[in-house]
Amino acid sequence: MIIIKKYLISIIYTVFIIFFTIFIILDTFVIKQSYQIVKNETTENTSSGTITKDDNSYKDDNIEINLKEYRQNDTTIYVADIVLKDQNYLKTAFAESTYGKNITENTSDIAKEVNAILAINGDYYGVQKSGYVLKNGTIYRNTSAGNEDLVIYKNGTFEIINENDVTAEELLEKGAYNILSFGPALITNNKIVVSENDEVAKAMNSNPRTAIGKISDNHYVFVVSDGRTTSSEGLTLYQLASFMQTLNCQTAYNLDGGGSSTMYFNGNIVNNPTTNGKVNERSVSDIVYIGY
């Protein structure tokens, strides 16, 4: 009888552990939790001048974007060179216009919803329990994860900070408009700040990558590389930083990569997003974009 009871207790405990583990996995990666509905800006193009555009360029009286493809380290890299009249056209947007957990959409779908001219995937804040979330001038999460963040100020200035050194509220008071919390920083003050051995804990060495850089006042670059295919190997962080340096970036920052890496321009997906070995977009929680 005692043996049977011990056996039953063992079975019940095992079943409990299995179901608890399944719940944790679902809660972490699947179950959607909406914390706040956000009105993403969906303003139509307000340019008062003539718009000229094709597959590789866009120009109006406020925004000029030129797209160029490079080939380095057996990898295809796409660069959007951006010149803005002012930084107000550099924005972020949430998937499903919602701040929450496991709320995701394809980069291209979010971009279409906000009438983006150009967009890349963001920092995928939704998969993390902590780390600053400050989007378009509003703080949504102020708990530090000790991340190395990119702060984009209202005046267009880029600054690399560590969350342990300054609060989200202090950054907002200083004029922060967007905070991207993924990392690491690639370039600060025109110098590469990652080594050949640095790597994102979530990733392998050579990967699809997404990065943002600032060259000068209101002059930016969005960079996305293909990877994990026979035609495009992918980049290490150091290779990405070295490439960003050739673009004369004063500051450059690594965003979510891998299957998330996507560039959208003039209504089309520019690169070849790769998920589970197939060319396919992976849904993300947010984007960085250029638009009205």
> What pLDDT shows up at residue 21?
42
b/e 1-36 (16+ beta carbons within 10 angstroms → b): eeeeeeeeeeeeeeeeeeeeeeeeeeeeeeeeeeee
Q: Round to whole Å and give the CA distance between 292 and 290.
A: 7
Flag residues of the chain having pLDDT under 70: 1-32, 34, 37, 40-48, 198-204, 276-277
- Residue 229: is it exposed, middle or buried by C-beta count within 10 angstroms (0-12/13-18/19+)? middle
Residue with tokens 């100020």: 153
Query: pLDDT tens across 185-222, in order?
Result: 999 999 999 987 766 654 557 899 999 999 999 999 99
Amino acid making up residue 266: N
What is the average pLDDT value for the chain, to the nearest integer? 88
> What pLDDT shows up at residue 19?
44
Strand, helix or coil at 143? coil
Closest Cα partner for 53 from 284, 268, 278? Answer: 268
Domain ranges of the chain: 1-31, 35-290
> What pLDDT shows up at residue 167?
98
Query: pLDDT tens across 33-69, in order?
Result: 767 768 766 555 566 679 999 999 999 999 999 999 9
> What pLDDT shows up at residue 42?
55
Q: Round to whole Å and give the CA distance between 38 and 96.
A: 9
Neighbours of 153 (CB within 10 A): 15
> Is the CB of residue 97 less than 8 Å from the CB of residue 40?
yes
